[in-house]
Structure 1
Amino acid sequence: MPRRTATMLASTLLLIAMLCAGLLIQVPYAEMSPGPTVNTLGEHDGAPVLNIKNRRTYETSGHLNMTTVRVTGADYRMNLVEAVGGWLQHDSAVVPHSTLYPEDKSAKEVDQQNAEEFSASQESAKVSALKELGIRVPSYIVVGSVVKGGSAEGRLHAGDLIRSVDGKAVKNPAAVADAVTKHKPGEKVRFTIIPAAKVKAAQKAGKKPSPRDAEQITVGTKKAEDDGRPIVGIQPATGHIFPFDIDIKLADVGGPSAGLMFSLGIVDKLTREDLTGGSFVAGTGTIDDKGKVGAIGGIQMKTVAARAKGAKYFLTPSANCQAAAQDRPEGLTLVKTRTIDDALDALKKIRDHDTGGLSRCKAS
């Protein structure tokens, strides 16, 4: 066999061997890619994304799309060829598996955390929108979450309204923790609560939870493993009493990054002014009760998804601006957004065709 032919054959066999090895070798990475994008002003799976009852709403036009990132499952093990292919694509990102699925949490726990963050983001979206419109939103203290295996498990539940601890009214989450730590490990703490189901029913009716629904729940304390302080295994948080029902329906979505777009959708539906003027605007960003917009992950995936759907403008958290601008899809204007007021100001410029005045993201 000629030497040249032998060399080519050997190289081909080596290449095939390397390819086979790449397909068999698993690597500790996961992939992020553009996910679905949904108009918060429209419908999803045949139902309105935002359904507002017992309050006058107005017709809207255009789009205020929230964006998502699609990720490989917790149990999926990527091979070397897939990882290299993902690294070479501009519209996907290969990241360490532990970035999406921490080793100290099960897939179920990650899903639960994402669901809780999504629920909290809806709450903050409603609060920031109504405050923007000058609508009063009273607050109260609730059980934000219950620690699995803690002494409160099965006795207190996420969403329970905490009226008092040991007979003393609590005005903020820190007051709950302070009241618990006054005990010694093993002692019992008396909570006066209104069950979450009754709180939710009152909210849907546009009413305040009734003190007549209050119950006494006694929970024993345990010693915290890290510092020995007495704990009952709950995370207190701030809840709100909404003057009318705002229902956000969007299945199979987790995390807090849709907060800004939900908030803008609510403002649009409750405002006579058509916020978009018919334009296609997408965006992302967490939002807190005061309307501050926070950073999110997977910004490049979200801008790609938005442009592919038809968006011309993308409301971008200021902390994500530089990363987003480094790989901006052609035809998409990235608008720097720090607060809901920034977003509303940008929407006004867009509908007034004053886009030269937009605050745009820059790569450096």
Structure 2
Amino acid sequence: MLASTLMLIALLCAGVFIPVPYSEMSPGPTVNTLGDHGGEPVLQVSGRKTYPTSGHLNMTTVRVTSADYRMNLVEAVYGWLAHDNKVVPHETLYPDGKTEEQSTQENAEEFSQSQESAKVAALKELDVPVKSWVIVSTVVKGSPAEGELHAGDVIKAVDGTAVKEPADVAKLVTKHKPGQAVRFTIVPAKEQAAAEKEKRTPTKTQDVTITTTTSDDAGEKRAIVGISAGTDHTFPFTIDIKLADVGGPSAGLMFALGIYDKLTPGSLTGGKFVAGTGTIDDEGKVGPIGGIEMKTVGARAKGAQYFMTPADNCEAAAKDTPEGLTLIKVKTIEDALGALKDIRSGDTADLPKCGK
């Protein structure tokens, strides 16, 4: 008995001090996009008539352990056994040795982009015109483009061919061989900002010639200049989204629905508690996210009755649905609006549910 007791103590000590390559995910805060957070409205619209709202359209989050946190064996076992938590390989949350700072910065950029796409998707659904153009989103440090192109520069053409979408930039650049020159016609970021402020069309353009280099990522080698292209927009009125300490793109759908609700008469939810998640693009297409099981648990714990679920997450979410929560399968913002119409009317028999 003494030997067994000593062995047990030794194993427990080993479990406490032996680190394991895992991280933990757990339900995070859920915030009503129609309400206040931190003492101010989450969604603020100025320059356009808004309407009273009711009920909830909650975005959901997941808490994760930090990049430098080293989980021990005891914590990993406890996490595996806990129903509301999920233990995953560390590299799942922080691939390629990504630091906490890098992850935070990436999440902030994705969150900002999701807000822009949510605005565009909501306004397009309302037939409100939005001006869009292709921009330099980021410039890779040490690349041929560094110092030549800058974040926010508007890309009008590449080698004289007009650019209409971000994907056009890569297609035109990769037509070259590494070492060849490529010509960008741009509106400098400062000129674009000044034109927007003065509500005029920018007139100052310039040509920038950059010599391509060889890509160093996995896959087929190709010509690159070291930028990523994105989209920027001008809105006919101001929409501000105020929500600190949240990152990633997964709140896009719920922001879009919240904006739509504020800009249309009547209550979109009919006073019901609806939560959800999902990325959204400018065309209103809803994409999958991570940590769906944690988000449904967090939403139900706060009182959600319905959960807008990206179609590609339905299978995972349906495996362990919290009691009392209905998972609604959505592929587009139109799907979500149609489901909300049924919810507020009380006619929920034909809702597109996960698992059906």
Find the counterpart in structure 2 of residue 272 from structure 1: 265
Residue 109 of structure 2 is aligned to residue 116 of structure 1: yes
1:125 aligns with 2:118: yes
Output one character per residue of 1:81-133: Cα deviation in whole Å (capped at 9) or x when no partner.
Answer: 00000000110100000000012533333323222222222222112111111
Question: Structure 2: which amino acid aligns with 1:260?
Answer: L
Residues 228 and 358 (structure 1), Cα distance of their counterparts in 2 relative to 1, 3 Å cut = closer
What secondary structure sits across from 2:184 in the alignment? Answer: strand
CA contact (8 A) 1:33 1:71 kept: yes
Instruction: Name which of 319, 331, 335 aligns with 1:338.
Output: 331
TM-score norm. by structure 2 comes to 0.91
Tell me if the contact between 1:33 and 1:92 (Cα under 8 Å) persists in the aligned partners: yes
Q: Does 1:71 align with 2:64?
A: yes
User: What stretches of structure 1 move > 6 A for 4+ residues in a row?
Assistant: none
Matches within 5 A, 1:134-153: 134-153=127-146
Aligned equivalent of 1:329, options 301, 306, 322:
322
Corresponding position of 1:3 = none
The residue type paired with residue 134 of structure 1 is D
- 1:95-244 map, 5 Å: 95-181=88-174, 185-186=178-179, 188-196=181-189, 199=192, 207=199, 210-225=201-216, 229-244=222-237
Call closer, same or farther: CA 1:349–1:22 in 2, change over 3 Å: same
**Contact 1:207-1:243 at 8 Å conserved across structures:** no
Matching of residues 6-85 of structure 1 within 5 Å: 7=1, 9-85=2-78
Q: Which moved more, 1:73-82 or 1:186-195?
A: 186-195
- Paired with 1:325 and 1:352, the residues of 2 have a C-alpha distance of 25
Distance 1:198 1:261, change over 3 A: farther
Q: Is the 8 A contact 2:277 2:310 kept in 1?
A: yes
Alignment CA distance shift 1:278-1:207 (3 Å): farther
The Cα RMSD (Å) is 2.4
- Structure number with bigger Rg: 1
Aligned length: 354
How far did 1:264 drift?
A: 0.2
Letter in 2 for 1:235: S
The unaligned stretches of length 5 or more in structure 1 are: 1-6
Q: Is contact 2:195-2:202 (8 Å) kept?
A: no
Does 1:286 find its partner at 2:296?
no
For structure 2, the residue ranges without an aligned partner over 5 or more in a row are none
Q: Which residue of 1 is the match for residue 309 of structure 2?
A: 316
One-letter code of the match for 2:7?
L
CA distance in 2, matches of 1:47, 1:202: 31
Alpha-carbon distance, 1:239 to partner:
3.0
CA deviation after TM superposition for structure 1 residue 144, in Å: 2.5
Distance 1:136 1:42 in 2: 26
SS of match in other structure, 1:177: helix
Distance in 1 (CA, whole Å) between partners of 2:175 and 2:349 is 58
Question: Is the 8 Å Cα contact of residues 206 and 243 (structure 1) preserved in structure 2?
Answer: no
Could you tell me how far apart the structure 2 residues matched to 1:79 and 1:111 are? 24
Which is further off, 158-167 or 71-80? 158-167
Per the TM alignment, residue 200 of structure 1 is displaced from its structure 2 partner at its CA by 5.4
Tell me by how many angstroms 1:270 deviates. 0.7
Percent sequence identity over matched residues? 67
Structure 2 residue aligned with 1:88: 81
Q: Distance in 1 between matches of 2:123 and 2:47?
A: 14
The aligned amino acid for 1:90 is H
Name the structure 2 match of 1:261.
254
CA distance in 1: counterparts of 2:299 and 2:192, whole angstroms: 37
What letter matches 1:253 in structure 2? V
Cα gap change, 1:302/1:25 in structure 2, threshold over 3 Å: closer, same or farther? same
Could you tell me which residue of structure 1 aligns to residue 298 of structure 2?
Answer: 305
